Structure 1
Amino acid sequence: MTMKKLILAEKPSVARDIARILKADTQKKNYLEGKQYVVTWALGHLLGLKMPEDLNKDWQKWQSETLPMIPKFIGIKPLPKSRGQLATISQLVKRKDIDEIVIATDAGREGELVARWILQYVRANKKISRLWISSQTDKAVRDGFKNLKPAKNYDNLYESALARATADWLIGLNVTRALTVKYDDNLSAGRVQTPTLALVRQQEEKIEKFIPKKYFQINLTVDGQNASLVQKNQFEFTSRNQAEQKISELQKNVGQVKKVERKIKKQPAPTLYDLTDLQRDANQRYGYSAKKTLGLVQRLYEVHKTVSYPRTDSKYLSNDIKATLKERLNAIKRSSKKAEEILKKGAKVVKTSVFNDSKVSDHHALIPTEQVPDFAKYTNDEQRIYNLIVNRFLGIFAEPFKQEQITSHVYFGNEVFIFKGKKVLDLGWKQETEDTNGIVLKENQKIDSKFKIEEKLTIPPSPLSEASLLMQMEKFGLGTPATRAEIIEKLVNTQMMERVGNGLKVTPKGKQLLNLVNPELVSPKLTAKWEQQLENIALGKLKQQKFIQDIKQDTKKLVAEIKNSNQSYKDFSLTKKKCPDCDSFLKVKKTRDGELYVCSNQSCNYRRRKDAKVSNHRCPQCHKKMLLIEGKNGVYFRCKFDGTTEKPTDKKKKKMTKKEERRLLNKINQDDEPQESALALALKAALKD
């Protein structure tokens, strides 16, 4: 009997690529098979932690008396519609010709959890190895299979992932239930999302407390360029009269250039991208949400195979990557003249600090792979993200940006005006010219007293954008590169936060939530401490059991404080409209499809659209789109232009068969055309049928 290895990938698309490379090309139901390998897949998570109602009947109902819920052991259960794939994996694991299982899920914390839970559930008792790769190219996969690692090498990573999931269960479910029961509204809180929300609110408070100040600035004009008077205090002149008096003093003196300084400044290329940096740049340049950028770079990694593993927190490369640089440049050169020039010069890395093994944990920085891109298959958004990664990568081969800074000091008595100019000496890694020469002044040169008063107003801080929020989350250790986009989306979807233009705003519901929970849960310091502890578990420096024990104590404390709180809460989404089913008040709920009225009684399922939806159904009179109305008389169409109403029908238009299409075309193209056009007659006939 020929023994085979069973490969467990995270997604079907990845499994098919691995199967192609390993020549496992016989398609079976839910797996592929070859002479040496059997390749199957998860669908992301097939299992999740059991819910409270799965563990204790008393926990089925949301009530204060059963909180906090602290189970001794949580356990896992299949997610909806996952049993079929789990059954397939179970059967494959038990096959007698399978002697080894290879985990080939994403090489990260969550990927490890996906695989371990599956293998636990199907009771796998065979040798288990780990494929650990940073890109999905054919070469990377083949090399990875030549260097499989024992799965036990990643036990600590699994322990860290399990600790994270358990902590989120304990804190998230208990605090959310406590708040929801106490204040009779769906209030969601968590160990990462709540301090993230607080960061947005802190910026809002700065804006709200901001009081604009008016002040006056004195400018000196020389050859069309302005310089302002150097002041110790920006608000020295609070009235125009004060500024005018100062100008009178200055005019008593003759202006003179007393000092001209020339300095050459070098600016090295920026560090390579980790996921958070890429999300921040994509938000600033193109307005992409963190979630959208993650989706785009994930496709570049999985489908196009042109970038390395995206969910990385490192901006550095390990030294073994040096040997692959020319291959990566060769892949880029067809679409980049800069890459071709770098290869001609020997592909020498200028920014050598980018190689640092100590700063690479699970994965190195985001860089292009050796796969030549086929831009015909890229969307415009995918190409933008790919170009960002490529340009940042090419920067490590480029000289620093070099410019001369010229500073001229013009004195009127003891008062000074400073003129600044810049001259680009070497563009280096930068792609755009930033040459701002300014005026060139000479020492001892006399200057005319051309003064001008400018009225100024202090500017309030800007709201946090997703780019600036991601930077704050990274600074305070909130979440990981892989989870930050998901956290932001959850806050928006639970109506704690909303997008306004390119900024983020906390809703009235979110503001109240921040006042209802313990300040420790609001502060990023506690969550940052937890994230560091999770990292220590992954590194083997901390036991998972100790971490969970501390989380249980924190859970008890947080729930007790909510129960004993005297804080009041107002549901701003509650309306004065009554539910027709149970007579409770209706609430407004925002969804992707518009706003809905939903019943505030949690045991009632009544819901309807708040505003009529514009349908594709046309008015028989004016032929404009009609509104779809949900009212006491049921669902019906109404034209807002002429008031025509119609009841919807369940009849769907029959699709024209190929035979009917040919018959219609024959009628249209007939030679003996009557007075009325053949097209008009054919369409009439078709409508009568």
Structure 2
Amino acid sequence: MSKSLYIAEKPSVATEFAKALKISGRKQDGFIESETAVVTWCVGHLVTMSYPEAYNPALKKWTMDTLPFLPKEFLYEVIPNVKKQFKIVRELLNRKDIDTIYVCTDSGREGEYIYRLVDKAARVPDTKVKKRVWIDSQTEEEILRGIREAKPLSSYDNLSDAAYLRAKEDYLMGINFSRILTLKYGNEVQRFLKSQKWSAISVGRVMTCVLGMVVRREREVRSFVKTPFYRVMAALMAGDKEFNGEFRAVEGSKYFNSPLLYKENGFLKRESATNLIAELAEDIPSITEDGNWSPNVNGEKQKELMAEVTRIEKKKENKNPPLLYNLAELQNDCARMFKISPDETLKVVQELYEKKLVTYPRTDARVLSSAVAKEIYKNIKGLQGLNTARDFATEILEQGTYKNIAKTRYVNDSQITDHYAIIPTGQGLNALGSITHTAARIYETIVRRFLSIFYPAAEYRKVGVTVAIKGESFFASFRVLEKEGYLKVLGSPNEKGTKDLGKDKDSPEEGDNGEDENSDQSFLQIVMSLKKGMLLPVHGLMIKEGETTPPKRYSSGTLILAMENAGQLIEDEELRAQIKGSGIGTSATRAEILNKLVKITYLHLNKKTQIITPTLLGELVFEVVNTSIKSLLNAELTASWEKGLTYVSEGQISKEEYMEKLEGFVGRMVEGVKTLNNQTALINYFNDVASYYK
């Protein structure tokens, strides 16, 4: 009797497939078998690429004349510590009674690669039927759907080609560039560090680019020179409420385009700010020694100073729920909120996936597919079993707000490649008792983001007030939350129900609208009643001192976002959603790359703050690459390689075309390094860098 074989990526996943298929056969060494089916598993990678010495023993020694190393045929070998499981899998794949193979490794490029390597090494005959199971969660329903709708494995040949090319690319760049740079500059680095321990210069297509991003940011911070600035504020009275207006040198002002200004709302010198206050209160002799003015000095009431309302702007503003989580967004939020690294976040969300609590984590998409949208009520209904989500889920189901979700921006098939966004399955809730406190918090974060999209936009009332004091304009703006909408699920910005749209109040950057975040409904009503031409008493003029701030260092989370956006740190989530492209690395590899850079001590990660900085060794390696293979530090170029792999997986270019470009690039770079004679200049760079690490 013929049987079907199901091969998963991990033992835990294989167990879930066996449960879904009702395979009650006894568990053997490395597989589970019943009368009709067999389930087995890899343990991650079973097969890997061979080191150069497998091609020729002489290549074990690193020499200039053996580079570039560009084999025509690549060799692969079974990883030594998993040989036993490989042998079990190989025998099962080739068993005569197995006629159909269901490939159930993770649904992505790396999962595809894991099986293809095994298939090739095990020499599985093409006479067997091979089908690919592609699922988005490990719920029983989804597993059975994936098996039922499994496509021929050949349908994923382009993805397989991209997977092989990604591995070859990392292999060729890593081996060739690490060897040539170590041979050329390794001794200089070792001598400079006075290190007795020899170590190679480790570089790679993605990791070196990321190192460059962090080093450049650190140097921007170092070279930053603080600029002090001085803003003039007016304390204005409206009814019995006081609010602040900020001076801006707009057109018509005596100071419009004046060289005395840093920006339109900040002076370069305190003296200039003091002079403005003196001009505004010139006939009211009550300016204090620090340049401020008050109508009451030494208990004596002075002549009243008035401000005329010259403009009132009133409008409503709606803010929609954010898009759903992809892995990068989740890693960024977890680094910010829970101070955990992207690597830790991925491990946690992978555990949540394996416990059926959430959908597949290694995704770049932030939307749902139209097919999932049709069944989304099931996910919501399942969350009624979760205490913290029960009321929200019930409200959504009762009001039916999920019914039109397919017509919103949260559903878009064109924005999905392999998988849709990370959402709760609504199942597996009994596993919540077995996860850590951190895992539970991350799960709730995913749940709340998911449920928020079924709520309406938050509605704000905004009012902008412009007043004139002796011809100079002062501006104030306010925003109050009128309808919380989705914030009912995600939480209001602050306890008073207000939100500051402006930037740091100590920064006079353009676009700072100085919105008052302490306003409330009663105060808003007073401001709303103001009319053009009304006079408001000025209760004070004061100088507010500030200084420009340096660029922010990357946190582990913002670095992941910058990698996703091809080296750009785009903090605005709406703008990030519009960025097209594959970025640097993939959702599956970014955390691992960052982890490696920390492990080899090129970068330092502060575990408490999640701030990332370069080490001295990391900066020395940066200098080596910057003077030899500078293009490795180019974020756009690195992203273009990733984009090329996407083109291969989509069938837009052939694997032969890609390989030709790759070999040409590696060969040219290696030969170029051989001709360089820049060690002396490099030592000068090293000395400059080292001055920051004394």
> What residue in structure 1 maps to residue 536 of structure 2?
447
- 1:39-188 map, 5 Å: 39-125=39-125, 126-182=128-184, 183-184=186-187, 185-188=199-202
Task: Determine if contact 1:216/1:237 at 8 Å carries over to the other structure.
Answer: yes
> What residue in structure 2 maps to residue 362 of structure 1?
418
Secondary structure of 2:137's aligned partner: coil
Q: Which runs of 5+ in 1 are unaligned?
A: 574-689
> What residue in structure 1 maps to residue 262 of structure 2?
234
Alpha-carbon distance in 2 for matches of 1:548, 1:321: 37
Task: Determine if contact 1:332/1:372 at 8 Å carries over to the other structure.
Answer: no
Q: Which runs of 5+ in 2 are unaligned?
A: 188-198, 250-256, 283-304, 499-517, 567-582, 687-694
- Of 411, 419, 425, which aligns to 2:468? 411
C-alpha offsets along residues 233-285 of structure 1, whole Å, 9 cap, x if unaligned?
A: 43553332221211122235731122221110011111111111111111111
> What residue in structure 1 maps to residue 622 of structure 2?
514
Task: Determine if contact 1:6/1:102 at 8 Å carries over to the other structure.
Answer: yes
- Of 349, 359, 372, which aligns to 1:308? 359
Alpha-carbon distance in 2 for matches of 1:199, 1:4: 52
Task: Determine if contact 2:8/2:14 at 8 Å carries over to the other structure.
Answer: yes
> What residue in structure 2 maps to residue 258 of structure 1?
310
Whether 1:190 aligns to 2:204 is yes
Report the residue type matching 2:312 in the other structure: V
> What residue in structure 2 maps to residue 665 of structure 1?
none
Secondary structure of 1:288's aligned partner: coil
Task: Determine if contact 1:496/1:507 at 8 Å carries over to the other structure.
Answer: yes
Report the residue type matching 2:470 in the other structure: G
Secondary structure of 1:548's aligned partner: helix
Whether 1:8 aligns to 2:7 is yes
Secondary structure of 1:362's aligned partner: coil
Task: Determine if contact 2:262/2:268 at 8 Å carries over to the other structure.
Answer: no
- 1:183-582 map, 5 Å: 183-184=186-187, 185-222=199-236, 223-231=241-249, 233-234=261-262, 237-251=267-281, 254-302=306-354, 304-335=355-386, 336=389, 337-348=391-402, 349=404, 352-374=408-430, 375-430=432-487, 431-433=490-492, 434-435=497-498, 436-437=518-519, 439=523, 440-441=526-527, 442-443=530-531, 444-449=533-538, 450-476=540-566, 477-500=583-606, 501-517=609-625, 518-568=629-679
Distance apart, 1:570 and its partner CA: 6.3
Secondary structure of 1:177's aligned partner: helix
Secondary structure of 1:8's aligned partner: strand
Alpha-carbon distance in 1 for matches of 2:380, 2:147: 25
Alpha-carbon distance in 1 for matches of 2:656, 2:273: 68
Alpha-carbon distance in 1 for matches of 2:275, 2:373: 65
Alpha-carbon distance in 2 for matches of 1:525, 1:237: 38
Q: How many residues align?
A: 572
Alpha-carbon distance in 2 for matches of 1:481, 1:263: 40
Report the residue type matching 2:376 in the other structure: L
Distance apart, 1:414 and its partner CA: 2.5
Task: Determine if contact 2:112/2:160 at 8 Å carries over to the other structure.
Answer: yes
Secondary structure of 1:353's aligned partner: coil
Alpha-carbon distance in 2 for matches of 1:491, 1:230: 46
Task: Determine if contact 2:597/2:603 at 8 Å carries over to the other structure.
Answer: yes
C-alpha offsets along residues 383-436 of structure 1, whole Å, 9 cap, x if unaligned?
A: 111111111111221100110011111111331111121121211111333324
Secondary structure of 1:273's aligned partner: coil
Task: Determine if contact 1:105/1:115 at 8 Å carries over to the other structure.
Answer: yes
Q: Higher relative contact order at CA 8 Å, sep ≥6: structure 1 or structure 2? A: 2
Aligned-residue CA RMSD in angstroms? 2.0
Alpha-carbon distance in 1 for matches of 2:424, 2:559: 27
Report the residue type matching 2:462 in the other structure: Q
Judged with a 3 Å threshold, the aligned counterparts in structure 2 of structure 1 residues 407 and 515 are, in CA distance, closer, same or farther, namely: same
Alpha-carbon distance in 2 for matches of 1:309, 1:455: 50
Secondary structure of 1:308's aligned partner: coil
Secondary structure of 1:82's aligned partner: helix
- 1:612-627 map, 5 Å: none
Alpha-carbon distance in 2 for matches of 1:166, 1:421: 57
Report the residue type matching 1:166 in the other structure: K
Alpha-carbon distance in 2 for matches of 1:139, 1:483: 29
Distance apart, 1:97 and its partner CA: 1.3
- Normalising by structure 1, we get a TM-score of 0.80
Could you say which structure has the larger radius of gyration?
1
Distance apart, 1:95 and its partner CA: 1.8
Alpha-carbon distance in 1 for matches of 2:603, 2:675: 27
Task: Determine if contact 1:67/1:559 at 8 Å carries over to the other structure.
Answer: yes
> What residue in structure 2 maps to residue 607 of structure 1?
none
- Normalising by structure 2, we get a TM-score of 0.80
Report the residue type matching 2:481 in the other structure: V
Distance apart, 1:300 and its partner CA: 0.4
Distance apart, 1:373 and its partner CA: 1.4
> What residue in structure 2 maps to residue 34 of structure 1?
34
Alpha-carbon distance in 2 for matches of 1:96, 1:63: 48
Alpha-carbon distance in 1 for matches of 2:19, 2:428: 18
> What residue in structure 1 maps to residue 253 of structure 2?
none
C-alpha offsets along residues 193-245 of structure 1, whole Å, 9 cap, x if unaligned?
A: 11111111221121112111122111111344323211364355333222121
> What residue in structure 2 maps to residue 616 of structure 1?
none
Report the residue type matching 1:225 in the other structure: F
Alpha-carbon distance in 1 for matches of 2:150, 2:428: 26
Report the residue type matching 2:5 in the other structure: L
Report the residue type matching 2:348 in the other structure: L
Report the residue type matching 1:307 in the other structure: V
* 204-213 or 177-186, larger mean C-alpha shift: 177-186
Report the residue type matching 2:649 in the other structure: A
